[in-house]
């Protein structure tokens, strides 16, 4: 599952819409929507290459209590 799918599932599990999340984050729904459509890591970032070279990956999972 990719990041966008994970967010969609987390929203559904929380019973929350994107608009409600935007309100909670004190941002306009359009800004949140654009953020969710953009790459998780900026294409100019060196992080993807660093992680790849070290055999690491970013994993999104629920926080542990």
Q: What's the rounded Cα separation, in Å, for the pair 3 and 61? A: 10
Q: What is the pTM of this model?
A: 0.71
In this predicted structure, the answer to whether residue 39 has a pLDDT above a threshold of 90 is: no
Q: Residue 40: what pLDDT?
A: 77
The pLDDT value recorded for residue 27 is 94
- Retrieve residue 6's tokens: 């994970």
Please give the Cα distance from 18 to 34 (Å, whole number). Answer: 11
* E strand map for the chain: none
Distance of CA 32 to the CA centre of its chain: 10
Q: Residue 17 above 90 pLDDT?
A: yes
């Amino acid at each position: 599952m990719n990041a966008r799918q994970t967010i969609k599932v987390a929203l559904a599990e929380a019973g929350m819409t994107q608009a409600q999340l935007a309100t909670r984050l004190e941002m306009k729904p359009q800004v949140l929507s654009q953020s969710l459509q953009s790459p998780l890591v900026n294409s100019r970032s060196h992080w993807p290459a660093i992680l790849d070279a070290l055999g690491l990956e970013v994993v999104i999972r629920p926080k542990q209590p």
